[in-house]
A and B are shown apart, each in its own frame.
Chain A
């Protein structure tokens, strides 16, 4: 990874360009990227928060609406950071304009980082939109802002890399929907977004601890509400390890040219 100052400057420019292109894409297709989460989250707040939530009462010492708001924000961050990279990278691979990057003098780790941070950018943009929507329905405190930002960053980074790896391995459009349908969505819905795991029977509670999304949602929720279902040190350890592991895997796949080089 060592580089001369001139080479490092060129790399930095290349990295910025990937980010600018990804940001431009998010904004250019705002009707697909920013608008749908606002509509969906509004529906969630109306149905689960206002209509059903009144009958649920308190969860974890908070109004149900307050409880689910961080979970819904995190769920949107996860889905969008993943969705951004999987569609952008697979689209570039399918449309062959990925070759623009592959022929350029950019190291593979930088390409992976650029795409992943593009996914993080969309995760944060959409997360901000959903947070604003949630404020129309409930009050949210900012008890630990650094925790909110760090948990959101690590989570979106992990799932952006998941989208990157899925896009590398996918050979057609069907294969980019398998992971979100069969893994991501079930884990998210069972990751304590809509309920506290303390409400579950013992076996389900124990099983929930194998779900990494539980730790991400809990750490994020702690930043707003000050309560969590899991040990926060363990939550951060899992998020950091997942980020390092996914990043390493993505770079190795790039080095080997899996799915992108003959």
Chain B
């Protein structure tokens, strides 16, 4: 069974803006799915419709087979949502916020208090459970929203930019936590601006732009479509000119930094062999940008220039 099915989903706002222009999307149960797109692409609108915060103009939404037009309450009970903006009462305590949210989903207070202890501990918030929410740090507020979304143990967890504005350490710990609950069977749909996050966490991906899905595949297949990657090599000795590398485009960023473009089908071994033959020693190497980021930018750019078909060729 699919965790989420969108069929010809459309949304036109009152001001005439067409945020979604007929989206078709399927997300499998148990998947860790990335929904990517530039600002204004329609990600948050799509999530808003699924979580019933936005009214759709047309199309079908099914959550674990429950159509939101016919079985809205059942569909809602399957979903936990972590929105982009902080949306809890900043004057309530962390404990009250999560217990009340469980109550809204029909979880009795006794059970809710037990679950609150579990999730607040797992998300390192238990010591701050009696703190007024507005006194929590940005990272704590993000984690509190995750704890709140999990209180009714949803089968589908939707996270809209969950790690926006949190430091690397907190982000990594949140990744671990999300991997864990996905491993326990919770389907996760994630939107993020940190493409490294999507590449690290997600098995499948859809890229949305201008209200349309322009790419939908496994993360591995999507990354395979990347035609060229740029590698940054740190040189041991300073150089004034880039070494000649037959078959590759190479340029010096500075005296110790060489950038080499490697096309699909080419081997890095050829680069290293030629550099060794010229006596160039390499201290370290990295991707110039995250691979998914590179693909994402190319897809969106080429779509802007003339259509998605060319973008994913």
Contacts and interface: CB of A to CB of B under 8 A. Distances in A.
Nearest to A96: B87
B1 to A, nearest CB: 19
Contacts of B153: none
Contact of A262 (B54, B87, B90, B108): B54
Nearest to A101: B104
Nearest to A98: B87
A106 B77 CA distance: 9
Interface in B9-30: 13
Interface string B67-99: 000001110110101010111111100001000
A200 interface: no
A104 B89 contact: no
Contact of B90 (A7, A95, A102): A95
A96 B85 contact: yes
A261 interface: yes
B106 interface: yes
A99 B106 contact: no
Q: Please indicate which of the listed interface residues A28, A101, A104 has the most CB atoms of chain B within 10 Å of its own CB.
A: A104
Given A14-B104, A14-B105, A262-B54, A97 B76 contact: no
B76 A100 contact: no
Contacts of B48: 262
Interface of B is mostly: loop
B89 A17 contact: no
B79 A20 contact: no
Question: What size tier do the contact residues of chain B reach?
Answer: 20 to 34
Interface residues of A, number: 29
B104 A106 contact: yes
Residue from B55, B77, B81, B105 whose CB has the most chain A CB atoms within 10 Å: B105
Contacts of B178: none
A97 B77 CA distance: 18
Nearest to A257: B55
A100 B103 contact: no
B54 A10 contact: no
B73 A105 contact: yes
Nearest to A256: B55
B104 A99 contact: no
Contact of B53 (A13, A99, A105): A99
Contact of A261 (B55, B77, B106): B55
Nearest to A260: B53
A114 B110 CA distance: 21
Contacts of A257: 55
A245 interface: no
A142 B115 CA distance: 47
A13 B91 CA distance: 23
B230 interface: no
A9 interface: yes
A171 interface: no
A261 B107 contact: no
Contacts of B86: 96
Interface string A5-26: 0010111011011101100100
Given A14-B103, A17-B104, A96-B87, A107 B79 contact: no
Given A100-B148, A104-B76, A105-B77, 16 more contacts: A7-B106, A10-B77, A11-B106, A13-B107, A20-B100, A96-B86, A99-B87, A100-B101, A101-B104, A104-B104, A105-B73, A105-B74, A105-B76, A106-B73, A107-B73, A262-B48
26 contacts: A11-B106, A13-B106, A13-B108, A18-B104, A21-B100, A95-B87, A95-B90, A96-B86, A96-B87, A97-B88, A99-B53, A99-B83, A100-B87, A100-B100, A102-B53, A103-B53, A104-B101, A105-B72, A105-B73, A105-B77, A105-B105, A105-B106, A106-B104, A257-B55, A261-B54, A261-B55
Interface of A: 7, 9-11, 13-14, 16-18, 20-21, 24, 28, 92, 95-97, 99-107, 257, 261-262
